[in-house]
Amino acid sequence: MDRYALIGHPVAHSKSPSIHAAFAAQTGQAMTYERILAPLDGFTDTVRDFIAAGGRGMNVTVPFKLEAFALADHLSPRAQAAGAVNTLSFRADGIHGDNTDGVGVVRDLIANLDCPLAGRRVLLLGAGGAARGALQPLIEAGPARLHLANRTAAKAAELVAQFQALAGALTLTASGFDELGRDAFDVIINATSASLSSAAPAIPDTVYAPGALAYDMMYGAEPTAFLIAASTAGAARVADGLGMLIEQAAESFLIWRGVRPDTAPVLAAQRATLAGG
């Protein structure tokens, strides 16, 4: 049995083992997937111990994605763009690092939520690691405009400057939250950590265009504060990030096993579990 794991601190809450077990059963893969709680000062040693014990790959969660980026011998283009790694593969030529978070968001929006991004106006809230990881896949999805807004405008502008060359003809802009309001958007994605503290980013109601979808990268049994605020402000549709979790896991599974699982039944099962069903 090939061994895989999630490494983080904490990890006890993670749904990743049940998700990958479902993927393995569906595709007939002989593998195990476990949680590994690494000491905050022991990420590299824990990874190398796992490799020595025959481990084939790892997902990486907080707070180790930057350390995983530094540890990798080889980085995918999207990991380089994100500046962080959430998927490690252990191969004969070294440790390979990838980032599947952004593609998870895009696949969830397009495939699960039937929300095409090509030609749409997209607003991305936040300028931290989650936003950075999403930028390249969002750019590649071909929106007409992609605007990055953050509480601190300078941080948003700095991040946009780093991705400007990749954007090509795409209109890629930045501002603070307090500068929003003049333009409306078709898709509004919350990549801030506000939902962790039951808060919502301070954005005006006018950012929601008719028919707009509000999407929170966070998820829970109940709608997040951002999704509640978006519904009140007039967003036509709202969706949380459970599908993102499933899709980024499927992308990691594809990297490791060479087969893409069908995410729909796994998402449905996880949603039912989350709802207590």
Q: Please tell me the distance from the alpha carbon of residue 125 to that of residue 130, in angstroms, as a whole number.
A: 10
Tell me the mean pLDDT in the region 164-178. 93
157: pLDDT strictly greater than 70: yes
- Name the average pLDDT for the chain: 96
| 58 & 144 share domain | no
| 125 & 235 share domain | yes
- H, E, C per residue of 93-156: CEEEEECCHHHHHHHHHHHHCCCCCCCCEEEEECCCHHHHHHHHHHHHCCCCEEEEEECCHHHH
> Which positions make up the binding site?
14-16, 61, 86, 101, 126-130, 150-155, 217, 219, 241, 248
Angle of CA points 259, 261, 264, to nearest 5°: 160
Domain with 155, as residue range(s), is 102-108+115-240
138: pLDDT strictly greater than 80: yes
3: pLDDT strictly greater than 80: yes
pLDDT digits (tens, 9 = 90+) for 10-41: 999 999 999 999 999 999 999 999 999 999 99
Query: Residue 83 belongs to a domain with what CATH number?
Result: 3.40.50.10860
pLDDT digits (tens, 9 = 90+) for 79-130: 999 999 999 999 999 999 999 999 999 999 999 999 999 999 999 999 998 9
| 249 & 228 share domain | no
| 51 & 138 share domain | no
User: What is the model's pLDDT at position 183?
Assistant: 95
In the chain, pLDDT over 70 holds for what percent of residues? Answer: 100
> Which positions make up the binding site for NADP(+)?
126-130, 150-155, 217, 241
| 65 & 136 share domain | no
pLDDT digits (tens, 9 = 90+) for 185-210: 999 999 998 888 889 999 999 999 99
62 compared with 236, residue with greater pLDDT: 236
Number of domains observed in the structure of the chain: 2
Residues with a known catalytic role: 65
| 6 & 89 share domain | yes
User: What is the model's pLDDT at position 113?
Assistant: 98
42: pLDDT strictly greater than 70: yes
φ, ψ for residue 254 (rounded to 5)? -60, -45
| 127 & 225 share domain | yes
Look at residues 118, 101, 29, 122 and name the one whose alpha carbon lies nearest to residue 59: 101
| 134 & 211 share domain | yes
Look at residues 112, 1, 116, 11 and name the one whose alpha carbon lies nearest to residue 59: 11
Tell me the mean pLDDT in the region 170-190. 96
> Which positions make up the binding site for shikimate?
14-16, 61, 86, 101, 219, 248
pTM summary value: 0.95
| 236 & 264 share domain | no
Query: Residue 200 belongs to a domain with what CATH number?
Result: 3.40.50.720
What is the three-class DSSP state of 50?
helix
275: pLDDT strictly greater than 90: no
Q: Please tell me the distance from the alpha carbon of residue 77 to that of residue 171, in angstroms, as a whole number.
A: 21
User: What is the model's pLDDT at position 277?
Assistant: 60
